[in-house]
Amino acid sequence: MGTRTGPGLDEEGLEPDLQDNTFNGTRHQASVNHEIGLPRIQVSKSSALVLFGLGIYLAYLRHLGLGEVAESLDGVNPVLFFAALALSLLMVAFNALSWKRVAEELDRGASSRDFFLIYLSSIFLNNLIPSGSFSGETARVYFLSKAGGGSAPRFDASFASVAASRIITAVPFVLGMILGLAYLTSLRQVPSWALTTCFAMMIFTVSAGFVFVGICFEERWLQRMVGVGIGPLERIFHRELDREICSGTVSGFMRSMLLLRRKNRALIESLAWAFAGWLCLEAVAFAAFRSLGVNISLLAIFAVYSVIIVFQTLPLGLPGGIGLVEILMTALFGAVGISIYDAAAVTILIRLVQLWFLALLGGLSTVHLMRRIEGDR
C-alpha cells in the first residue's frame, strides 16, 4: 500500500534505504489504528472521585469560612468573567494551531476546526480520567490518525506531532515560571514553603522535560520503554497489542521526530502560537482577579499558575486534581499577598473556566468526533 512520507522528505536528503524503511514502517499503520483506541471511561468511578474531590475542597472552604468566600464572589463583574471564558477558548485555539503547524510537516493535515475540537477532547479526557495527561494525548493521537489528511493513516506521525507539540508548549511555561520565581524571590514576605514548592516544581518540570526530549530522540530508550509499557497499555485499552507493530511504529515515530528537527521555520511558527496560547492562559487568571476587583502582579500569576499546571499533570488519583489543585492554588495565591477569601473566590472562578467550562465543551467535542468516525466507517 503506497503512502506519502510527508512533504519535503526528498529534498531533506533522506537516503533511499531510510525512505524504504519509512514505507515499510507505515504498512503496519492501519493495523495499529485498529488496535489503538480511546481509553474507556468508567463513569461511576470518575463520578465518585469527582464528588470526593469536591468534598475535600468544600471542607477546606468551610474551614476558611464559606460566608466570607461567598461575599467575595458576590462582587464578580460578569463582563470580565465572560472575558475569561473567551480567553480560555483563545488559549485552546492557539495551542491547536501550534500543534497543527508541526503536524502539517508530517502530512497530518486536517482543518483548523478539527484540531480545535480534538484539542478540546483531549482536555475533557485529561480531566475525566485520573491518569495524568496520558489520556488526553492518546485522544489527540487517535483522532488525528482518523481525521488527518494524507493517503493513509499514520499513527507514528500523529504521535510524533503530539510529542513535538508537548515539547514546544512547555517552553513558554518554563520561561514564565523562571520570571515568576524571580519576582517571588524579590518579595521577602512570601513564605518559604511557597518558594520551596515553586522551585521544586520548576526543577521537576525542567528535569522531566530533558528526559522526555532525550527519549524522543533516542530509539533504543524508547523501544525499551514501549516494551515495558505494553502491559499497562493493554490494561488501559482492554485489548492485546502486537509487539512487532509497536516496534515498527516506534521506528516510524523516531524518523518523524528527526524530520521535524530540521524544520526550523515550522518550529518557530509553532512556538509563536504556543506563546500566544500561554499568554491567554495566564490572562484567564488575570481577568478572574480583575472581575473581583483584586489587583495582582502578572508575574505572581506566572509563578503560581505554572506550579498549578505542573501539579495538575501529576497522577494525583483524582480527575483533574479536583480538590487538591484548588487547595494548592488558594494557598499559593494567599501566600503572595492576596486575601485568603479572595484567593479562594478567584480559584473557584478559574476552575469554573479552565476545568468545568472546557471539560463540558470537550465532552461535546468528543461525542461529535466519535460519531463522525463511526459515520465514516
- DSSP for 308-319 reads HHHHHHS--SSG
Query: Quick check: 174 and 205 in contact, CB under 8 A?
Result: yes
Rg of the chain (C-alpha set): 22
Domain span at residue 216 reads 13-376
pLDDT score, position 227: 66
Q: What is the pLDDT of residue 33?
A: 42
Pure H helices in the chain? 16-26, 29-35, 43-64, 66-74, 78-104, 112-128, 134-147, 155-186, 192-216, 219-237, 243-261, 264-291, 298-313, 324-335, 340-351, 358-376
Q: Given the C-alpha cell 479552565, which residue does it identify?
A: 354
Residues 6+ away with beta carbon under 8 Å from 175: none
**Inside any domain, residue 250:** yes
Residue 104 CA neighbour count, 13 Å, CB half:
16
Which residues of the chain are under the pLDDT cut of 70?
1-41, 129-134, 148-155, 188, 219, 221, 223, 225-249, 315-316, 376-377
Residue 3 maps to a domain: no
Residue 2 falls within a domain, yes or no? no
Task: Return the DSSP state at 8.
Answer: T
Instruction: With respect to residue 230, please indicate whether it lies within any of the assigned structural domains.
Output: yes
Determine, yes or no, domain membership for 4: no
pLDDT of residue 39: 63
CA distance 49 to 377: 34
Let me know if residue 99 belongs to a domain: yes
pLDDT number for residue 133: 53
Q: What is the pLDDT of residue 82?
A: 95
Per the structure, the count of domains in the chain is 1
Least Cα distance to 243 among 225, 258, 227, 221 occurs for 227
Query: Rounded CA gap, 211 and 131, in Å?
Result: 19
132 domain residue, yes or no: yes
Q: Does some domain include residue 5?
A: no
CB of 92 within 8 A of CB of 116? yes
pLDDT digits (tens, 9 = 90+) for 105-136: 887 778 899 999 999 999 888 877 655 456 77
